A = this chain, B = another copy of it.
Amino acid sequence: MTIQHRKDEHIELVLKRNVTSRNLTTGFENYRFLHCALPEINFSDISLTATFLGKKLKAPLLISSMTGGTKRTGEINKNMALAAEERGWAMGLGSMRVALEYPESRSTFQVRKYAPTIPIFANLGAVQLNYGYGMDHCRQIVELAEADALVLHLNSLQEVFQPEGNTRFAGLLKKIERLCNKLEIPIGVKEVGWGIDGKLAEQLISIGVSFIDVAGAGGTSWSQVEKYRTSHPLLKQAAESFSDWGIPTAECMMDVKRRVPYALLIASGGLSSGIDAAKAIALGARLAGYGRSLLKSAVEPTPEHIINHLTLIELELKIAMFGIGVSDIQGLQKTDRLIPSLRGD
């Protein structure tokens, strides 16, 4: 199976099958906002503007790293880039290893022309540093994407569940450190849906990583996705047992925030409404990222659908802010109106 075919297959499966974790939720349902009946602000005055890595955003929101490499996924990237630019969100590209191996696929990652002003993140599996990729390749993909940052993803279990997976994860911390020291632009690290805990976040920050996207559990589960792909019967069965593995996103945020209070954080993994973003930001995130939940709108032939979807999330975020009486993102970050749910429901 070619790497390109895999990319298309991932999109198909995420759209058509049940690929979310089972008996596990994001943990955002354990928090709720204490309504403020007299907000003392005008709804029209609410502002979502934010900055990330020195760039202005119209909203503290992110389209998570998802795809690229094939004709179809190139069109998805284009739609997402046009929408992100229009609404002022940040955007992540999918893993760009394919661009290094198959030059003809490169254009599918070149979305800067559709999104001249927003932060764009190039993306590579951290484990590739153990499989022959290094500084030069990283520079290449960053340039290709005209990216503001390079995001390395940690996906140990996904690799295990791919029969062709790259599962040599030893010694990566050192290699990431070297990359942080040498690369000209900021490096972020993310998971792909099982979450980053506080201890690891502390290590990553201490070796020079600029920002962390916790990419926690409760949304897309990659063991579930790969379960549908694999023809290896034992891996298929084992995948079932791991459908509730991972650290819920809200819990990642709490743990990371406790260990590295000043780290630049992105919360993602299972977010769907704008209320989720409001909770994520109140828990300490600078950006709130959406992956799978945006995909259905992003695969439409024209960008209006995904633009509408982003607008909906912003509207919900604004209403949540109106509901607790804060008029800007700084206020949301400092609110004391996010409180524990009574019984987690």
A residues at B contact (CB < 8 Å) = 23, 27, 30, 32-45, 126, 154, 156-157, 159-160, 167-173, 191, 194-197, 200, 203-204, 217, 233-235, 237-238, 241-242, 244-248, 251, 273-275, 308, 311-312, 315-316, 319, 322-323, 342-345
Contacts and interface: CB of A to CB of B under 8 A. Distances in A.
A152 to B, nearest CB: 10
Contact of A323 (B42, B156, B316): B156
B312 A37 contact: no
Contacts of A36: 197, 200
B171 A40 contact: yes
A37 B159 CA distance: 12
B40 A173 contact: yes
Contact of A238 (B38, B170, B203, B312): B312
A170 B37 contact: no
A306 to B, nearest CB: 14
Given A157-B322, A169-B322, 19 more contacts: A33-B245, A34-B197, A35-B247, A37-B154, A37-B156, A37-B194, A38-B156, A38-B172, A42-B168, A43-B168, A160-B319, A160-B322, A167-B322, A237-B312, A238-B274, A238-B316, A238-B319, A241-B274, A342-B344
27 contacts: A34-B197, A34-B247, A35-B194, A35-B217, A35-B247, A36-B197, A37-B156, A38-B126, A38-B200, A38-B204, A39-B156, A40-B171, A43-B168, A43-B169, A45-B170, A157-B319, A157-B322, A157-B323, A160-B319, A160-B322, A167-B322, A194-B323, A233-B308, A234-B315, A237-B312, A238-B319, A245-B275
Given A170-B45, A238-B274, A311-B234, A37 B191 contact: yes
Contacts of A308: 233-234
Contacts of A159: 43
Q: In the A-B complex, list the 3 residue pairs whose CB atoms are closest, starting with the nearest.
A: A43-B167, A241-B273, A37-B154
Contacts of A194: 35, 37, 323
Contacts of A44: 167-168
